Chains A and B, each alone.
Chain A
Amino acid sequence: MEGVIKLNANGKQKRNAANEHILVCLSSSPSNERVVKTAVRMASVFGSQLTALYVRTPDYETMDPEDRKRLENHIRIAEAGGAETVTTHGDDVSEQIAEYARLSGVTKIIIGINSSRRRRLFFKPTLTERLFELVPGIDVHVIPDTGALGAYYGKKGRFKQSVLPSWKDIAVTAALLAAATGIGLLFQRLGFTDANIITVYLLCVLIISILTRGFACGVMGSFASVILFNYFLTEPRLTLRAYGSGYPVTFAIMLAASIITSTLAAKLKAQAKLSAGDAFRTKLLFDTNRILQGAKDEREILTITASRVSKLLNVDTSVHFADENGLSGGLLFFAGREGSEQALPEGPDFEAAQWAYLNKKQSGMGVKPHKAIKFVYTPIRAGESICGVLGIGAAHRRTDAYEKGIVQSILGECGLAIENLRNAKGREAAAVLAKNEQLRANLLRTISHDLRTPLTSISGNADTLLKNRAMFDDETADRLLSDIRDDAEWLTGLVENLLSISKIGDGSIRLDVSDQIVEDVLEEALRHIDRGSASRTIALETGNEPMLARMDARLIVQVIVNLVNNAVKHTPEGSAITVKAVPDEAFAVISVSDNGPGIPDEWKEKVFEMFFTGDNDVGDSRRSMGLGLPLCRSILEAHGSELILGDNRPSGCIFSFKLPLSEVDLNE
């Protein structure tokens, strides 16, 4: 029950100052109601945390429906009083209580006296006595009996339900005893000793205990086998007398052995059943956990939780999602119909869910202030906040403590899964932020460095010309002027790339996509190529049919410009550069190839890294920021495509990428 915010009796979420933690023991007896009410009052006086514990023993299976109903009523009273209910499983009630009290830091235990009296039937120290022994440090408050109990016990024998065997059990017992007697007679005829025959009877009692419910049949079988043994198999036959002086001892031992065998077997069976229940619960939680691990967002986790609870309890469930803006509309899951969820309309149900969300407390059916609602709304906690509200349908009218425990565990898993998800998201965001921050720092450093060089050249050249024009011949003046122009052009290209980076780099890429004619885009791009391209031949090859592809035209133009400029920069003068677009099934494949020296294999990955510029550029030694290719790559990634670098034959390289072709209904 870790991960659950403790509630104090007033239902307000606050860690209680006195650190009191009251544990009240639930039972099905009528006087338990008073015990629970006393505990609730006490918790509210102390302002302390209240837990209601029900220890589920094997008797639970055979519990009278009336008792069961009463128990559920007690659980409801406890919950209405702000208690957290917990169910544990075990045979020994006092040990279970003690264990829970120790683990959860309970300071006071409140218990009804009748619970203790019941245990006397088992010839053990009373429950309270054992409790005192097991938890010496904790106050145990015993609420006295009101006296109505005697009548209660008189009315119904305790064994009535749980121990009285059915006709079928009696028939099985009789048949087995007959078989054992038959085998005994056979053994005697074969001359086997009595020991063998007694063993057969013991075996028979063991089998009876296993096959029948409770231990009544086993005990009955024990007595019957002694009588049968005496009647049929000892001298004189067919009488209940025995000649052998040792026989009374034999009978006594035989009886004792068979009674012990039968009770042990019955107990074992009950234990097995309990542990099977526990195993089922563990497996269930494990499965839920596994499914929740696979969920991608909070909504999915909550949806899975609700549908799982619906499937498990076979009831209608609903889930409301909470985010920063509060609680939003819910989804309804119908029992037994998977995938049939539908949106929940606003109304009193939503109000009840809202109430549960705001007060971090259960609401809905039977709980103020929304008693009339047909759902019980339980807030789902993730860490300190409420991430949603689970509604459990009214069809599930009896609040079975065991199932309730499972639901609570599933909600716990759900909360944990959501917390994990949030943590993972936080870490991811932090990592991205750190990476972006580093990128930004690198970018700024490189930009300020790279800007200074052309700016120095521009202002220096302009200054020189302005002051000393007369001293220069035309040729020199022209060279200085063309340097100014080239540097300015270079800066223009840089600004274009930076603009695109600012659009793409902050993680939230907002593409302005539309269907574009690929050819138009390529033509537009070729209009923005650097001046150096004049010394290279640039060819544009497109197919016969116009191709319509979906893209952010501005950014794709930027990609082509960068690729062609790159090719211009890294190829010797006179090289041929080809820009090509061909359809390939549902894609337009766009490529920029050159017949230059190509890119060495060891650089092939590096060229996509920011600020990589190669060692020596082949053409003029124009500075490069190394922004172009990484930018192209991010632009294409934003388009869901990728930039592929390949080798051209016989030399050079090819950059290519795909864009999805789009269909358009022509408005003829």
Chain B
Amino acid sequence: MNKPLILVVEDDRPIRNLISATLKMHDYKFIAVGNGAEAVLEASSHNPDIMLLDLGLPDMDGVDVIKRIRSWSDMPIIVISARSEDRDKIDALDSGADDYLTKPFSVEELLARIRVAQRRLSVVQTDRAASGPLFVNGDLKIDLAAGLVFLGNEQIHLTPIEYKLICLLAANVGKVLTHTFITQKIWGSSWENDIASLRVFMATLRRKLESDPDTKRCIQTHIGVGYRMIRIDPADKEEKEQ
């Protein structure tokens, strides 16, 4: 796989240095900038593959940066935010970010997120054309034409809502979907009861997938934020730790 070009947008110099050093060490190509205006400029001129975006920028709101970039680019965006800013994270995800990193984060975490984004990139690039009726992720197979879900060779029985959920997650594999986004897609509303329902459906869905150790963690729960299906890569064991 080609090493992608990463745009790092972070105003805090030590953190920018840390990210730059890490990326350099792992042979990623990158551009590092310190504010939103430069970020939009660099994004349009260099057309990077992945963007790491700090939400607390001095000149403009991180969410605005995402919205402007989303107007022409579909590149994976990973936002970086402080722990206490749940709302900002959710806003960023709802306006098109794919994933988030919470400060303080470890270097391994950062690399893992970049790998997830990379895989999504390859999915976007390869699957889009051949978005056939079959979705395969590790042992998980979804036959979209027949509406059937398999774990290995065994069919698993899902309720209509569970099926809708797994399809929604599969269609956005690698991307963190917020509670609001999911409930809006499934029920068309996002009342508190919808979100509680969603949690129960997700819990039962995950239990149905848990029988297979490989798919056990393919749906991640992000407390207070949402859910994500990750693409299972047998070569990447670390991913399961995530």
Residues of A within 8 A of B (CB): 488, 492, 496, 499, 514-517, 519-521, 523-524, 546, 548, 553-554, 557, 662, 664-668
Q: A492-B104, A516-B199, A548-B199 are in contact. Are A665 and B193 (CB under 8 A)?
A: yes
Instruction: From B125-133, B201-209, B229-237, give the one contacting chain A.
Output: B201-209
Cross-interface CB contact of A546 among B83, B194, B195, B200, cutoff 8 Å: B200
In the complex, what residues of A have CB within 8 A of residue B194's CB? Answer: 667
**Chain B residue with Cβ nearest A503:** B84
Q: A524-B223, A554-B224 are in contact. Are A515 and B199 (CB under 8 A)?
A: yes
**Chain B residue with Cβ nearest A550:** B196
Nearest Cβ in chain B — how far from A506, in angstroms?
16
Cross-interface CB contact of B201 among A514, A521, A553, A666, cutoff 8 Å: A666
B177-214 toward A: CB 8 Å interface, digit per residue (1/0)? Answer: 00000000001000011111101111110010000000
Q: Do A666 and B83 touch across chains, with their CB atoms under 8 A apart?
A: no
- Is B95's CB within 8 Å of the partner chain A? no
**Chain B residue with Cβ nearest A516:** B199
Nearest Cβ in chain A — how far from B2, in angstroms?
31
Q: How many residues of B contact A (CB 8 A)?
A: 24
In the complex, what residues of B have CB within 8 A of residue A488's CB? Answer: 104
Apart from A546-B203, A553-B223, list 5 A-B contacts with CB within 8 A: A515-B199, A520-B203, A667-B161, A667-B194, A667-B197
Q: Do B200 and A517 touch across chains, with their CB atoms under 8 A apart?
A: yes
Q: Do A514 and B196 touch across chains, with their CB atoms under 8 A apart?
A: yes
Q: Do B195 and A514 touch across chains, with their CB atoms under 8 A apart?
A: yes
Nearest Cβ in chain A — how far from B145, in angstroms?
24
Q: Do A499 and B223 touch across chains, with their CB atoms under 8 A apart?
A: no
* Bound CA–CA A557/B202 (angstroms): 19
Nearest Cβ in chain A — how far from B191, in angstroms?
9
In the complex, what residues of A have CB within 8 A of residue B104's CB? Answer: 488, 492
Q: Do A521 and B199 touch across chains, with their CB atoms under 8 A apart?
A: no
- Is B71's CB within 8 Å of the partner chain A? no
Nearest Cβ in chain B — how far from A612, in angstroms?
27
**Chain B residue with Cβ nearest A546:** B203
**Chain B residue with Cβ nearest A524:** B223
Cross-interface CB contact of A664 among B161, B187, B197, B204, cutoff 8 Å: B197
**Chain B residue with Cβ nearest A513:** B192
In the complex, what residues of B have CB within 8 A of residue A523's CB? Answer: 221
Q: A548-B196, A666-B200 are in contact. Are A553 and B224 (CB under 8 A)?
A: yes
Give B69-112 interface residues, CB cut-off 8 Å to A: 83-84, 86, 104
- Is B153's CB within 8 Å of the partner chain A? no
Nearest Cβ in chain A — how far from B115, in angstroms?
18
* Bound CA–CA A245/B160 (angstroms): 126
In the complex, what residues of A have CB within 8 A of residue B201's CB? Answer: 666
Nearest Cβ in chain A — how far from B241, in angstroms?
9
In the complex, what residues of B have CB within 8 A of residue A519's CB? Answer: 203
Nearest Cβ in chain B — how far from A610, in angstroms?
22
* Bound CA–CA A496/B207 (angstroms): 31
Q: A546-B204, A548-B196 are in contact. Are A668 and B223 (CB under 8 A)?
A: no
Q: Do A517 and B83 touch across chains, with their CB atoms under 8 A apart?
A: no
* Bound CA–CA A499/B197 (angstroms): 30
* Bound CA–CA A665/B207 (angstroms): 20
Of the listed residues A488, A523, A524, A666, the one surrounded by the most CB atoms of chain B closer than 10 A to its CB is A666
Q: Do B197 and A496 touch across chains, with their CB atoms under 8 A apart?
A: no
* Bound CA–CA A346/B135 (angstroms): 65
Cross-interface CB contact of A517 among B187, B192, B199, cutoff 8 Å: B199
In the complex, what residues of A have CB within 8 A of residue B200's CB? Answer: 517, 546, 548, 664, 666
**Chain B residue with Cβ nearest A668:** B161
Q: A517-B199, A546-B203, A554-B223 are in contact. Are A667 and B187 (CB under 8 A)?
A: yes
* Bound CA–CA A554/B86 (angstroms): 10
23 contacts between A and B (CB under 8 A): A488-B104, A499-B83, A514-B192, A514-B195, A514-B196, A515-B195, A517-B200, A517-B203, A520-B199, A520-B203, A520-B223, A524-B221, A546-B200, A546-B203, A548-B196, A553-B224, A554-B223, A554-B224, A557-B223, A667-B161, A667-B187, A667-B193, A667-B194
* Bound CA–CA A524/B242 (angstroms): 10
* Bound CA–CA A517/B200 (angstroms): 7
Nearest Cβ in chain B — how far from A521, in angstroms?
6
Listed from nearest, the 5 A-B pairs whose CB atoms lie closest are A546-B203, A515-B196, A664-B196, A520-B221, A524-B223
Residues of B within 8 A of A (CB): 83-84, 86, 104, 159-161, 187, 192-197, 199-204, 207, 221, 223-224
* Bound CA–CA A492/B200 (angstroms): 32
In the complex, what residues of A have CB within 8 A of residue B86's CB? Answer: 554
**Chain B residue with Cβ nearest A489:** B104
Q: Do A546 and B207 touch across chains, with their CB atoms under 8 A apart?
A: yes
Q: Do A664 and B223 touch across chains, with their CB atoms under 8 A apart?
A: no
Nearest Cβ in chain A — how far from B159, in angstroms?
7
Q: Do B199 and A668 touch across chains, with their CB atoms under 8 A apart?
A: no
* Bound CA–CA A668/B201 (angstroms): 9
Q: Do A517 and B202 touch across chains, with their CB atoms under 8 A apart?
A: yes
* Bound CA–CA A514/B223 (angstroms): 11
* Bound CA–CA A262/B4 (angstroms): 120
**Chain A residue with Cβ nearest B183:** A667
* Bound CA–CA A548/B221 (angstroms): 14
Nearest Cβ in chain A — how far from B230, in angstroms?
15
**Chain A residue with Cβ nearest B104:** A492
Q: Do A668 and B193 touch across chains, with their CB atoms under 8 A apart?
A: no
In the complex, what residues of B have CB within 8 A of residue A666's CB? Answer: 197, 200-201
In the complex, what residues of A have CB within 8 A of residue B84's CB? Answer: 499
Q: Do A662 and B161 touch across chains, with their CB atoms under 8 A apart?
A: no
In the complex, what residues of B have CB within 8 A of residue A557's CB? Answer: 223
Nearest Cβ in chain A — how far from B113, in angstroms?
14
Of the listed residues A514, A546, A554, A667, the one surrounded by the most CB atoms of chain B closer than 10 A to its CB is A667
In the complex, what residues of B have CB within 8 A of residue A492's CB? Answer: 104
**Chain A residue with Cβ nearest B199:** A517
Cross-interface CB contact of B221 among A496, A499, A517, A665, cutoff 8 Å: A517
In the complex, what residues of B have CB within 8 A of residue A496's CB? Answer: 83
Nearest Cβ in chain B — how far from A213, in angstroms?
73
* Bound CA–CA A665/B191 (angstroms): 12
In the complex, what residues of B have CB within 8 A of residue A553's CB? Answer: 223-224
**Chain A residue with Cβ nearest B159:** A668
In the complex, what residues of B have CB within 8 A of residue A546's CB? Answer: 200, 203-204, 207
* Bound CA–CA A515/B197 (angstroms): 9
Of the listed residues B104, B196, B204, B207, the one surrounded by the most CB atoms of chain A closer than 10 A to its CB is B196
Of the listed residues B201, B204, B224, the one surrounded by the most CB atoms of chain A closer than 10 A to its CB is B224
In the complex, what residues of B have CB within 8 A of residue A520's CB? Answer: 199, 203, 221, 223
* Bound CA–CA A554/B194 (angstroms): 20
Nearest Cβ in chain B — how far from A47, in angstroms?
62
**Chain B residue with Cβ nearest A544:** B207
Nearest Cβ in chain A — how far from B211, in angstroms?
13
In the complex, what residues of A have CB within 8 A of residue B204's CB? Answer: 546
* Bound CA–CA A492/B203 (angstroms): 30
**Chain B residue with Cβ nearest A523:** B221
In the complex, what residues of B have CB within 8 A of residue A516's CB? Answer: 199, 223
Nearest Cβ in chain A — how far from B217, in angstroms?
10
In the complex, what residues of A have CB within 8 A of residue B199's CB? Answer: 515-517, 520, 548
Nearest Cβ in chain B — how far from A484, in angstroms?
13
In the complex, what residues of A have CB within 8 A of residue B203's CB? Answer: 517, 519-520, 546
* Bound CA–CA A488/B14 (angstroms): 15
In the complex, what residues of A have CB within 8 A of residue B221's CB? Answer: 517, 520, 523-524
Nearest Cβ in chain B — how far from A335, in angstroms?
44
In the complex, what residues of A have CB within 8 A of residue B192's CB? Answer: 514-515
Nearest Cβ in chain A — how far from B79, in angstroms?
18
In the complex, what residues of A have CB within 8 A of residue B160's CB? Answer: 668
Cross-interface CB contact of A521 among B83, B187, B207, B223, cutoff 8 Å: B223
**Chain A residue with Cβ nearest B84:** A499
Of the listed residues B159, B204, B223, the one surrounded by the most CB atoms of chain A closer than 10 A to its CB is B223
